[in-house]
A and B are shown apart, each in its own frame.
Chain A
Amino acid sequence: MNPATNSGRALPWALVTPALGWTLLFFVLPFLAMGFSSLTAHDGSGFTLSNYSQFFANPAYWQAMVNSLQVTAIVTLVSVLLAYPFAWILAEQVPERWQRLALMLAVLPFWTSYVVRSYSWLLVLAQNGVINRALTGSGLFTEPVQLANTRLATITGFVHFFVMLLTLTIFANLKQLSPSYRKAAADLGAGPVRTFLHVVLPLTLPGIMVGAFLTFVLCIGDYITPQILGGNNELLMPQLVMMQIGRRGDFPLASALSIILMAVVTVAYLACARRLKIERA
């Protein structure tokens, strides 16, 4: 037995143990507890699959999942479409010495509380809010338009947050891109549009996908924004989960719904990872 080899093997384990312990304590164990809870009856009468069957049997529950997927897909798409040009302008058009300040300004909304920001949007989008006053004041509309308490309001609140997140990931990706790629493309006769479409965009796709996946995960599990801005005119999955806890304290059903939501996120991850090779990002 070689003590040097043993200590060489032990060091990586020692280094990784805190992370493993953290994951075990704050992810694996709670997840197992949630899985166990999801298989128990609310009245404590034993094991049951009824918490899962309720989801599949009740169209209102299904609809919550459909709503969540629709909202998340729209938010992710719109955020990417807005964040990419924003990140590109920051990385390519803003002088290097101003980039730090520009980035700081870009993430300024993160400095305020998430809840406060959502309520602020409610006031902006309200019937007597800034936008409706501008629309009616300019004569474009005679009556205020319903903006607050709609799906549009929920999407607006989400996009405001996630554009910043995506801008950061895409900006980092663009900055890592060597100028040699663009020079080589130009040498070979490609114009700016072609260079962007065939060189820059494919090379920054991993950054986009990482940001998009983060957006998807955070958005589909968010309770605050739809609750404040959506006006409960439709339910998303996190709201449905919270409903089970509030008065009735039905943790088994809430656990089952959470696991179903988690399964959807896992499927989304696998789809992303397989098709777009996130691992290489």
Chain B
Amino acid sequence: MSINPNNPLSVLKSHLHATYAAAALLLATGSLAQAADLNALIWCDHADPALLQPFEEANGIKVNVKEFEGTGAGMAIVEQSQPGDWDVMVIDSIDIPRGVEKGLFEPLPEDKLPFADLFPQVKMDGSTVAGKRYGITEKFGYNTIGYNKTKVDPADMQSMAALTGDKYKGKIAIYDYYLPVIGIAALAIGKKTAELTEADLPAIKDELLKMKANAKLVGEVTASQTALATGEVDILVGGGEWVTAGLAKENPALDFSIPKEGAVLWSQSLAMFKDSENKELALKFIQYIMSPEGQARLATSSCYWGMPANAKAALSDEQKKILRFDEQPDFLARAQSYPAPNADLDKKMQDVWTEMLQAQ
């Protein structure tokens, strides 16, 4: 966090943050690790013991994890911590520049990480800052249409028009995250997700309202996954392999499509903190996660599945089939980037989302 000593407000805020720090550390992190341990701010997929244990055993250390949802919540934890408390962080790939602006991240050594093995579309060349890479994409997937193929006609799922028509009214759930679903609405009306401006919002809002009128619920990850798995709904707007793949064994009827309008490509990255006191271990962790074995474990984490960013991930044939690994070149060619609005547009997008949620 940068502090302007000439601005009393900034100074006061910094003192307040420092005051919060002790309590926040107690509440948010519990007992922080010994210096030799690795402290990781993560999403739930990294909490899987099947992923962490091999690394812990190989290095004789413990990985202390703190789960969070949403970049804002993650940044708040960092701001309320002491420099050096955290070593690595999982973050939306599009938000890496936000962390760099705040001076949080360390440039990654490209020669020590398998950038060359990543699917080219998820290398995020556009997210470099001053030519340096501050994060590496570890997992990706699509916000698109997830559905139960025994309940809906898969041919209908090849067009987003099915989401606003009458045929599946009351059989639809919407994933409750404004950025990807606004991206889907934009695709449905023929806009490019990378070129969205404030002028596009009224048309996007109309499209969202049409989707909402057909929807039974707007749910976060667990709620929307449960709704699709239990048959409460047959279609999930914003769903994809991250919903259907993990449930494939119990419910092979769940699938996803990349409709003719396209899909929104999501990706998550790993970043190393500039103030980490364990940079060597942090790099080892990133190397492990990006290794073929680590990638396979992360891709099939018990929390949610997703495509490994490393094309050499050691997935079994069955896992590849569930993730539709071989179809990725076509999917990636048709997917569009995750909306990455500036702060002002981001706020306006969230307000549009709020209005959609409140609409009856």
Contacts and interface: CB of A to CB of B under 8 A. Distances in A.
Given A40-B9, A40-B13, A247 B232 contact: no
Nearest to A58: B351
Given A123-B230, A126-B230, A231-B218, A33 B75 contact: no
B56 to A, nearest CB: 28
Interface residues of B, number: 40
Interface stretch (A43-51, A167-175, A185-193, A197-205): A43-51
B350 A248 contact: yes
Interface residues on A, range: 35 or more
Interface in A220-274: 227-228, 231-235, 240, 243, 245-251
B107 interface: no
A44 B346 contact: no
A248 B346 contact: yes
A234 B69 contact: no
A233 B72 contact: no
B347 A248 contact: yes
A228 B225 CA distance: 12
Interface centre among A33, A231, A250, by most B CB within 10 Å? A231
B53 interface: no
Contacts of B232: 126-128, 148-149
Contact of B16 (A36, A46, A119, A228): A36
The 7 lowest CB-CB distance pairs between A and B, nearest first, are A249-B72, A231-B217, A246-B70, A232-B218, A149-B217, A247-B70, A60-B358
B231 interface: yes
A251 B9 contact: no
Contact of A249 (B73, B170, B177): B73
Contacts of B220: 227
B194 interface: no
Nearest to B215: A233
Nearest to B179: A247
B356 to A, nearest CB: 9
A44 B358 contact: no
A232 B176 contact: yes
Interface of A: 33, 36, 40, 42-44, 46-47, 58, 60-61, 63-64, 119, 122-123, 126-128, 146, 148-149, 227-228, 231-235, 240, 243, 245-251
Contacts, number: 101
A64 B353 CA distance: 13
A249 B231 contact: no
Contacts of A60: 351, 354-355, 357-358
B69 A61 contact: no
B251 interface: no
B226 interface: yes
A44 B72 contact: no
Contact of A122 (B226, B350, B351, B354): B226
Given A128-B231, A248-B72, A248-B346, A232 B217 contact: yes
B75 A232 contact: no
A251 to B, nearest CB: 7
A47 to B, nearest CB: 7
B357 A245 contact: no
Contacts of A64: 358
Contacts of B197: none
Interface string B158-185: 0000000000001000001111000000
Contacts of B176: 232
Contact of B75 (A58, A240, A249): A249
B203 interface: no
Nearest to A43: B343
A243 B16 contact: no
Nearest to B218: A232
Contacts of A227: 220, 223
A45 B156 CA distance: 49
A43 B223 CA distance: 33
14 contacts: A43-B343, A60-B357, A127-B230, A128-B230, A128-B232, A146-B216, A231-B217, A232-B218, A233-B357, A234-B357, A235-B354, A247-B346, A249-B71, A250-B72
